[in-house]
Amino acid sequence: MIRLEKHERSQIEPLFRGIEDSMVLSYLQGYMGDGYVNHLQNPSAALIISGEYSFFGGNPNSEDALELIKQLFSVNPSECSVCIFPEEEPLWEQVLLSVKENHPTLVPRFGIVQKDYCFDEKILEKYMDSVPKGYDLIPFSKEIYHKAMMSDWSKEFCETFQSAEEYLNRGFGFAVLKRGDLVSGASTMTVYDGGIEVQVATVEGERGKGLAIACAAALLMECKKRNLRPCWDAANLASKKMALSLGYEYRGEYPTIHIQRASNG
């Protein structure tokens, strides 16, 4: 498997025209993520890895496609990955499910319409002001970046950035602290020209208190100030409900394949 250099990324752009995802845009525009092919001359399939997500494009019936799936964990250090592919190429689903050593599982996600929104500032302010007493809503800092990277539940806030300095230079986010501990947040998981991908999470035990939606509202308000499009994609029903409450529009379910690294035992 060959990792593409920055100047080679345009070679695989046609293979990803069916995926409207900000993480794919971010990679193709040279911001973050890694791209792979089996050969540089006229590849029939390609792979983009961004954090815990793996995007497949091209011909799912090709030898390239099968090889990229089989070799994914040779270039991805994660223990698991969420595989996303063009909805108009459903054969990707079959091929991904056929590689049994990856322990593939079909998992639906809940798509949000990708467009420019005009969010109601009064609604955003209402959620921002709803943080309970004893909790503090503040912007991400270098200290919060390092707190986020220390825990599995929160590292997605920042893991696609190479350092705290890069994150604070190119990304931003809002966190809720409880007695100094990070308990919830909303952050720029990825950035691209004119937009970001929103990542929202709350530590188990602090959910159901309106913390995540307060952070998300603050993030959307900041995006409005910076004239950025905040893209949202819902992994579960709670995320979908939150997005709709903030003013996003739902476009329907779509399939993804969750895979895991084969155990040595």
pLDDT, position 264: 57
Q: Give percent above pLDDT 70 in the chain.
A: 99
pLDDT, position 24: 93
Stretch 47-52: mean pLDDT, rounded? 92
Q: Which helix (H) or strand (E) holds 86?
A: none
Stretch 185-213: mean pLDDT, rounded? 95
Sheet with 195-202: list strands edge to edge.
135-139, 173-178, 181-192, 195-202, 229-231
Q: At what angle do helices 237-246 and 121-128 cross, to 10 degrees?
A: 130
Closest by Cα among 58, 47, 70, 62 to 18: 58
Q: What is the mean pLDDT of the chain?
A: 94
* pLDDT tens per residue across span 105-164: 999 999 999 999 999 999 999 999 999 999 999 999 999 999 999 999 999 999 889 899
* pLDDT tens per residue across span 53-110: 999 999 999 999 999 999 999 998 889 999 999 988 889 999 999 999 999 999 999 9
pLDDT beyond 50 at 265: no
Stretch 205-210: mean pLDDT, rounded? 95
What sign for the dihedral angle of Cα 231, 86, 257, 161?
Answer: negative
Q: At what angle do helices 121-128 and 211-226 cross, to 10 degrees?
A: 140
Give the dihedral of Cα atoms 77, 55, 197, 252; nearest 10 deg. Answer: -130
What sign for the dihedral angle of Cα 125, 215, 206, 52?
Answer: positive
Q: What is the DSSP-derived secondary structure letter of residue 10? A: G
